[in-house]
Structure 1
């Protein structure tokens, strides 16, 4: 007979995060953001509202933006998870991060990882996005400092630069079809 008080028994999860396979023993009720931050020490993913509204915890799950505070870690097993730490694999800034820096798309920085991951996922899916489409997408995350215009400009500048690089056939271009 199962003890009703033991509904959260620890389980072994295999998570593919930023191209590295991790095995984690955790309770089934723990969220992905908690496992990323506390077990894997990937603290770039921030915890804001814990209700999926602010977007500070946005990561990519199989290439699509997802709120890590709304997802159980067990739900991510077998998926490819990318956090903001994946953007700078070589230690330098990516084109998207550089665009945020150049266009002052951040102030306090708390929401920035979520915006970067939201934009990275969106631009991979819609490299030809218009400024209006970008504005609609970034409205899904909350920022209390910038007023969004600089974030929209940063994402648009990155999208434009990526399209130009692709059209010129440059091998370092990101997101070319």
Structure 2
């Protein structure tokens, strides 16, 4: 029987996983970091940088709660290794504000009550920013199709679509 104060040896497999040193450019700031090469981008953002906007929902890339932008393109950060994004520009929901002023989509989500519990909201907003920048928000059917990777368990989809339509129809610049 092992005692709590007895040191345990790490397994050989664990001890051979190399650390990596990367520079992550997040929301306009560069961070030099060292961590296990298996660390996901989501965990690097949340656990190492304290940016908790991106959520760990399913941890399988199916719900979209962890969506961030990398070089302007949306990705699910729970499936991405942080080391892959050395030198790339990463934008999280925290990086959307401009001098403390919310992004047009953040305002539209509030105006249209496009959230209930709010857990999916950061991922929804990041996908909507990308959707608008891609020019794919022409119709409700387009919005449904291109936002289909983001799940809202509360069912606020009509309000989410209304918020996106509002920003697109007003011609607001939803790009980052």
1:90 aligns with 2:99: yes
Say which one has the larger Rg. 2
Is 135-144 or 48-57 further displaced after alignment? 135-144
Question: Alignment length, in residue pairs?
Answer: 164
1:68 aligns with 2:85: no
Structure 1 alignment gaps of length 5 or more: 166-172
Aligned-pair CA distance for 1:50? 0.2
CA distance in 2, matches of 1:119, 1:174: 8
CA distance in 2, matches of 1:5, 1:20: 32
2:20 aligns with 11
Q: Secondary structure at the match of 1:69?
A: helix
Q: Secondary structure at the match of 2:34?
A: strand
CA distance in 2, matches of 1:144, 1:128: 22
After TM superposition, the score normalised by the length of structure 1 is: 0.87
Aligned-pair CA distance for 1:101? 0.8
- The Cα RMSD (Å) is 1.6
Match of residue 158, structure 1, among 162, 167, 174 = 167
Q: Is the 8 A contact 2:65 2:120 kept in 1?
A: yes
Q: Is the 8 A contact 2:42 2:56 kept in 1?
A: yes
Aligned-pair CA distance for 1:89? 3.1
Structure 2 alignment gaps of length 5 or more: 1-11
Q: Secondary structure at the match of 1:15?
A: strand
Q: Is the 8 A contact 1:32 1:72 kept in 2?
A: yes
CA distance in 2, matches of 1:138, 1:128: 9
Q: Is the 8 A contact 1:64 1:122 kept in 2?
A: no
CA distance in 2, matches of 1:48, 1:128: 25
Q: Is the 8 A contact 2:21 2:33 kept in 1?
A: yes
Is 84-93 or 148-157 further displaced after alignment? 84-93
CA distance in 2, matches of 1:116, 1:96: 7
1:49 aligns with 2:49: no
After TM superposition, the score normalised by the length of structure 2 is: 0.87
Q: Is the 8 A contact 1:105 1:146 kept in 2?
A: no
